[in-house]
Amino acid sequence: MRFPHRLKLKSRSMTDTFDETQASALIEAAEKMIDVWARLTPEKQALLLARFGSQENALAALVTTRLVTPTTP
């Protein structure tokens, strides 16, 4: 079996520009992450910073955890 990182995929060109929809989605996601961080207690923030090294990494971990955790009814 071949690993995905070894597959030769067609490269998609990357640009430094966003259309209005992409920019809006990016801004909305950033605002949500800021809100999540602000709602954490200072103790929780300190624990996350100690574990992940930066606010950005801590938020990425929180978002990833939220995405892969099944929702409960």
DSSP letter for each residue of 20-67: HHHHHHHHHHHHHHHHHHHHS-HHHHHHHHHHHSSHHHHHHHHHHHHH
1 within a domain of the structure (yes/no): no
**Which pLDDT does position 8 carry in this prediction?**
61
**Which pLDDT does position 14 carry in this prediction?**
64
pTM above the 0.85 mark? no
32 within a domain of the structure (yes/no): yes
**Which pLDDT does position 26 carry in this prediction?**
82
9 within a domain of the structure (yes/no): no
**Which pLDDT does position 69 carry in this prediction?**
67
Which residues does the chain have with pLDDT short of 70? Answer: 1-15, 66-73
16 within a domain of the structure (yes/no): no
Specify the number of domains making up the chain.
1
44 within a domain of the structure (yes/no): yes
**Which pLDDT does position 22 carry in this prediction?**
86
CB 58 within 8 A of CB 52: yes
Q: Which domain holds residue 37?
A: 26-73
